[in-house]
Amino acid sequence: MTYRISLQPGGHEFDAAADQTVLEAALAAELLLPHGCRDGACGACKGQVIEGRVDHGSHSASALSAAEQAEGYALFCCAKPLSDLVVQARNVVRAGDIPIRKLPCRVHRLQRLADDVMLLDLKLPASEAFRFRAGQYIDILLADGRRRSFSIANAPHDGSHIELHVRRIDGGSFTAHVFERMKEKDILRFEGPLGSFWLREDSQRPIVLVAGGTGFAPIKSIIEHAIETGLQRPISLYWGARERAGLYLDELARSWEAALPSLRYIPVLSDAAQDLSWEGRRGLVHQAVMDDFAELSGHEVYACGAPAMIDAARTGLCTGRGLPEHAFFADAFTFSTPAG
């Protein structure tokens, strides 16, 4: 059984099998709907079902409330069609000429950036040109069929390798492997590039970047791309962590202010009560943005971090500071439930 889905605005149409989510079917048709976690946790793919019925699937209530469901909203990464549909989504673009590919890679370097953060540098085959947009991610393909998603931390012009920032997760089998057993020259396979989180270069709006923890990785890709291309738009970078060690590339971020005069860097610690030497900002990172901007109607915001941070930033900045919904781009980091 297949269903016809009409996507508004734009009038794009595509087919979806009964066991496909709306997002999966759209991506198969080379239509990039906004999305982040693909796990019903971040809300980035939220849109309205104008006509037809869907099975909403499993999702977080913070990403889609019962009241929003009653108003016809759905998370397209979870929702499966039960009939032909007319749906409304924002920021829909064609996939363009960058194909999603499955490629092998070799572990070139492992570098401990913090007690719980490892830089994983992957060397690509010399014969394979890997293209991506600044901010996108890849899926590491595991032998048992599972996947692990990680944002690309290097810029597209440096495409002979892929830099990932891997945070160790308690009970996480893959992250334990990275920290304990992975070694240089190991072979991995990945699929990418993936995601609709990337720098919109056809805009002239000032940019606010909001990173939480290892959500810094795609933000680093965006900044280094901006430096490479000589981007002139004003950029404000807010990086939040609990403690100073969580700002694991703080010196690099500070150096960007000299490399890109339009950039302002604001580190924020949420749990620095005992760190009397910390002279920077304290509190939640999205609140620091709200403290600095009375209104954001003419800006674009790119936010990457935990779902709770993304949700708070979206609510605070769109509702409280006038940021248009279509100018808020998000990538939420979610973690697989440990086996057993």
Provide the total of helices (H) and of strands (E) in the chain, helices listed first: 8, 21
- In the chain, the percentage of residues whose pLDDT exceeds 70 is 95
Residue 270 confidence (pLDDT) above 70: yes
Average pLDDT of the residues in 161-179: 94
- Between residues 89 and 267, the one the model is more confident about: 267
Average pLDDT of the residues in 86-96: 72
Which top CATH class is 207-332? alpha beta
Residue 97 confidence (pLDDT) above 70: no
Q: Where are the domains of the chain?
A: 2-94, 101-194, 207-332
Distance CA 281, CA 270 (A): 9
Based on its alpha-carbon atoms, the radius of gyration of the chain, rounded to whole angstroms, reads: 20
Which top CATH class is 2-94? alpha beta
Q: Which amino acid is at 285?
A: V
Q: Is the dihedral of CA 181, 183, 187, 188 positive or negative?
A: positive
Q: Which of 77, 98, 296, 311 is nearest to 198 (CA)?
A: 98
Which top CATH class is 101-194? mainly beta
Residue 61 confidence (pLDDT) above 90: no
Confidence band of 336 (pLDDT split at 50, 70, 90):
low
Q: Judge whether 87 and 2 are in contact, CB under 8 Å.
A: no
Which H or E run includes 309? Answer: helix 307-314
Residue 95 confidence (pLDDT) above 60: no
